[in-house]
Every structure is written in C-alpha cells, then in structure tokens.
Amino acid sequence: MILLIDNYDSFTYNLYQYLCELGAEVVVRRNDALTVGEVRALVPERIVISPGPCTPQEAGISVAIIRELAGQVPILGVCLGHQAIGAAFGGEIVRAPVVMHGKLSAIRHDGRGVFADLPQEFTATRYHSLIVERDTLPDCLEISAETTDGIIMGLRHRRYAVEGVQFHPEAILTEHGHEMLRNFLSRQSSVVSRQGRDDMPEIATDPRGQPTAFAVTH
C-alpha cells in the first residue's frame, strides 16, 4: 500500500490517478488527519508527500514523517513534499528568484533513482515560489536534478530511500511523469535502524510532532 499525504492540494489526486494507473494501491490521508504513530500502524510500503500551497512548517506532519520514517519506508516528496525533505534534514527554504506557477522548464538530472532510464533532459511543469536553498543543503542530501540556470529540481538522500522533486511529475505537460513514479514504485526498500542517525538536526516539535523551528525566508 502507498500512503499519499495530502497537503490540501488539488494535484494530490493527479498523483493518486497516476499511481493507480501504475497498479498501486493508494490510501490518501490529509496532513493533519493522523499522527506519525498512526502512519506507522498503517504499515505503508511507500509514502508520497504531495504538493501544497504552504511552507513545510505549515504542512502538518509532513516533515515529521520524513524525520521519523526516513530509512524505514521509501519516501517521495513532490514540490512542497520536496521542500519538506530539505527542511527535515536541516536545509533552509527560501523564496525562489522567480515565481513559477504553471511554467515549463528544462530539467537535467543524474540518471539515478526516479530519473533512471530517462532522457538526460526533459520538460517539466513547475508551480512554486519557494525552493531549497543550495548553500544550506546538508551533506546527507545530494542534488539529483536542476534547471539549466541552476535551481534545484531534485534531491536524494545519500543513504536512505528518500527523494524529492520540485516540479510536478503528475502534471500533464511534464514529460515522463509516469516513468518517474514507476521508478519510485520499483525501488527496493531498505530498512535502516535509527541508531547512529546523526544526519538529523535537532528541530523542536509541538505535541502533534510538527516542527516549530526551522528557517523559512519569506
């Protein structure tokens, strides 16, 4: 079962449709409708964290899921979900140089993970005004894709099955969207103990497990 976390975004059900078309059983839950413990109890095979209209700090349990389950369940973050991955591991989320709502960009990538067996350059649809700040990227994350002008479009954890894409693979004008999601679904899971996870920054959380202190520049 794939758990799809809905960050109150209309694109969530585009992702749902694509995943179902690829044969996945998908359960959708909103970001404030369950706790991390309840996520564990569902025993998802994989987790997808959807786009959304807010910042990672405002995205319910999205960041907490990444912090708690990275290395135990493969995770894919899309747009806001991608930013949540950056924030969960200590990166800063800042304003993009240019607001990109419904605009197309050429994406270049490293040919691994969700980008395996794709053309080296393809067109993707972007809907975002925030990005993960390159200069604050923690050592545990590597850049897997970027635009021709150097904006981060993909992140991947160096040890865990955690990936993010800033663009929308589920948008109709994005090329190879199904292939990227198929690559995520076919990735082999690897269970990693939380012991020795020194890549996780100490981030204060409220009683629901939502982060209360990481840098966001408006």
pLDDT band at 189 (very low <50, low <70, confident <90, very high): low
The domains found in the chain, sorted by start residue, are: 2-186 (3.40.50.880)
Measured over the CA atoms of residue 181, residue 20, residue 6 and residue 124, the dihedral's sign is positive
**Percent above pLDDT 70 for the chain:** 86
- Average the pLDDT over each of 96-100, 112-116, 168-172 and give the range with the smallest value: 96-100
Q: Are strands 121-132 and 93-109 parallel, antiparallel or unpaired?
A: antiparallel
Does the active-site annotation cover 170?
Answer: yes
Of the candidates 79, 140, 146, 163, the residue annotated as catalytic is 79
Residue 99, pLDDT score: 85
What integer pLDDT is reported at residue 65 of this predicted model? 98
Sheet holding 75-78, edge to edge: 26-30, 2-6, 46-49, 75-78, 162-165, 152-157, 141-147, 93-109, 121-132
The alpha carbon of residue 150 and the mean position of all alpha carbons in its chain are separated, in whole angstroms, by 19
For tokens 């479009």, what's the residue? 153
Q: Which among 157, 170, 176, 179 is annotated as catalytic?
A: 170
pLDDT reported for residue 188: 67
pLDDT (average), residues 129-144: 96
Considering 82, 109, 157, 168, which one is annotated as catalytic? 168
- pLDDT at 100 (0 to 100): 84
Contact, 162 vs 62, CB < 8 A?
A: no
**pLDDT for res 209:** 38
Distance, CA of 153 to CA of 172 (rounded, Å) = 18
Query: What does the pLDDT read at residue 201?
Result: 45
Q: Are 102 and 168 in contact (CB under 8 A)?
A: no
- Write down the pLDDT at residue 97: 86
Strand-pairing partners, residue 131, are 94
